[in-house]
Amino acid sequence: MLQILLVDDEKSVVETLAETIPWESCGIGTVHEALSGAVALEIMENHDIDIVMTDIRMPEMSGIALITAIHERWPHVQTILLSGYADFEYAKQAMAQESFDYLLKPVSDEDLIETVQRLVNRIKQKWETAASYQRAMHAFQENLPLLQSTMLHELLTGKTYSEQALSDKLELLELPYSVGEELGMMVIRMEEHLTEMGNQDLSLMEYAICNIISEVMQHHFHIWHTKDVHDYLVVLASVKQAAPKGSTKDEKPQALLEHYAAQIQTNVQLYLKGAISISVSHWGKFPHEIGEIYEGAVRSMRKRMGQVRGLFVTASDDPDVHPIPAIRSLYKPPTLISLLEAGRFDDVEQKIELIFEELLQSGEYHDIAETTIEVYHALAGAFAYIIHKNGKQISSVLPADKFRYFQAPSYATAQQLKDWSIRTLHTISQDAEQELKDNHSTIVRSVKSFVDQHLDGDVSLPAIAEYVHLHPVYLSKVYKAETGEALTAYVYRLRMEKAAYYLRSSSAKVFEIAELVGYNNTAYFIRVFKKFYDVTPQEYRENLPV
């Protein structure tokens, strides 16, 4: 929602507008208040204001001078002028400064609401135009290579799509791949001479290597590349349906890919004066086997090449070794730690379910004792990390039976470990929820205490937010979520209830009561009191039972 700034040197005018106008229904989410042009400009510096509604006749800086300064520095901000003087010259100046409207005080709520709603609709239309299809498509095309690279990186790290969503995204990103298609992969490591370059030069070198790959392989393969977490270049290759004339059609795709990989290595050495190592994977089906062939190629890079430079390894070189299967869901993003940090406890529980489902499935082929140890340490580490990051000790959050697992794991089966994990997660979640409730309750108590003590002074949203050291927008959301009532509505209601109390229990005059509840303008006080109680203060007092 949009943000509006109300500016008037009469405090009662600003507060009345802030309290009595149904801003949310007008499309306004946050209302700021200023009693001078200088304060208004300071608020503009610190907040993303969309609309400024200002009085014209103010000391030191007039409303005309204020909107002139605003349009020079924030040309996108829309302005509305209020004035108690029906002076055509002011109206002309307002229009010259491209003010949206000019309203005469006292303006009715209906007229003001109608003006604000028209302006909100204009702002929305402006942003919709800015986000037009043509501009979006232009930006999309400019960033297409990056989007393609990002999608491949996500697939390598385990992100999954439904078949329809995958097909739609491939079409959108102009990637000629389909589910079930056979694909090969190259993993390329740049060696010392290349990796010692600065970041900018290294990026240019990566770009040059990708150009060589495209030049060498373009006639036979579709190419899709990205950079992985190890800073390796990962190149996915699928065979084009129509091979060029004179090509070796009978050559198997695996052999052809290995042939081109060796040629790429030679060209990089020859033209870029640098060494690269290449691991060529076995072939697999898109997209479900991408993770497997990628891990195999990286494993070859790590185990067969080690730190030796400029080597070339293919899938056929690898011995027939069946490693203990990794529990991929344990490390698949979003990770346990990132989910815990975000407070997404339901998603953490779902991830734990997937981890143990995969763990038990791996038990069909291998003894799961060692992988269970891996799972335990990953879970215990994530739980300990989030507890410590929240400034607490494990023993203060978890009961003794759960804490013992951190000192001496006592599970006998994977199911026992899973049960402990879920119970521990629930305890951490409940502790976080209680802490949040306590924090919010403390904020609400502080707000109510401040408002009650300063009701005859400045109880605007910025003043309250400054007192509790929170951003005004965040404070508004917390207060509304905790109490079910908008903060401005609470201040308004409290003022009216206090005013009614003074009318019932004292002989103070109406103007005195107005000042006691923060209204310097008695006429405005009478107006807002009547809006709240449907009677004027005097009528309210006269109707009291004897």
The ranges assigned to domains in the chain are: 2-131, 141-317, 328-435, 454-542
* Residue-level pLDDT at 365: 53
Helix axes 11-20, 487-505, angle to 10 degrees: 110
Share of the chain above pLDDT 70, in %: 88
- Of 3.40.50.2300, 3.40.50.720, 3.20.20.20, 3.40.190.80, the CATH number of 2-131 is 3.40.50.2300
Which letter does DSSP use for residue 175 in this model? Answer: -
Confidence category of residue 380, pLDDT binned at 50, 70, 90: very high
Q: Do 153 and 329 form a contact (C-beta atoms < 8 A)?
A: no
Residue 285 phi, psi (nearest 5):
-90, 140
Q: What angle do CA 192, 194, 200 make, to 5 degrees?
A: 135
- Of 1.10.10.60, 3.30.950.10, 3.20.20.70, 1.10.760.10, the CATH number of 454-542 is 1.10.10.60
Share of the chain above pLDDT 90, in %: 38
* Residue-level pLDDT at 275: 86
* Residue-level pLDDT at 81: 84
Alpha carbons within 13 A on the beta-carbon side of 223: 23
Is the pLDDT higher at 323 or at 157?
157
Confidence category of residue 249, pLDDT binned at 50, 70, 90: very low
Checking if the pLDDT of 175 tops 60, the result is: yes
Lowest mean pLDDT among 283-292, 317-326, 356-365: 317-326
Q: Do 472 and 30 form a contact (C-beta atoms < 8 A)?
A: yes
Checking if the pLDDT of 384 tops 90, the result is: yes
Residue 235's closest CA among 304, 189, 203?
A: 189
Checking if the pLDDT of 109 tops 50, the result is: yes
Checking if the pLDDT of 245 tops 60, the result is: no
Average pLDDT of the chain to the nearest whole number: 85
pLDDT, average across residues 234-255: 74
Residue 58 phi, psi (nearest 5):
-135, 145
Checking if the pLDDT of 80 tops 50, the result is: yes
Lowest mean pLDDT among 283-292, 402-411, 509-518: 402-411
* Residue-level pLDDT at 243: 57
CB atoms within 10 A of CB 365: 10
* Residue-level pLDDT at 246: 46
Checking if the pLDDT of 51 tops 90, the result is: yes
* Residue-level pLDDT at 4: 94
* Residue-level pLDDT at 332: 80
Is the pLDDT higher at 388 or at 328?
388
* CATH code for residues 141-317: 3.30.70.270
CA pair distance 483, 441, nearest whole angstrom: 9
**Sign of the CA dihedral running 377, 379, 381, 384:** negative
* Residue-level pLDDT at 236: 95
Beta-sheet pairing, 182-190 with 233-239? antiparallel
| Residue at token pair 């036979």 | 220
CA pair distance 546, 543, nearest whole angstrom: 9
Radius of gyration of the chain (CA): 34
Q: Do 158 and 328 form a contact (C-beta atoms < 8 A)?
A: yes
Checking if the pLDDT of 344 tops 70, the result is: yes
Checking if the pLDDT of 318 tops 70, the result is: no
pLDDT in tens, 480-538: 989 998 898 899 999 999 999 999 999 999 999 999 998 888 888 998 999 999 999 99
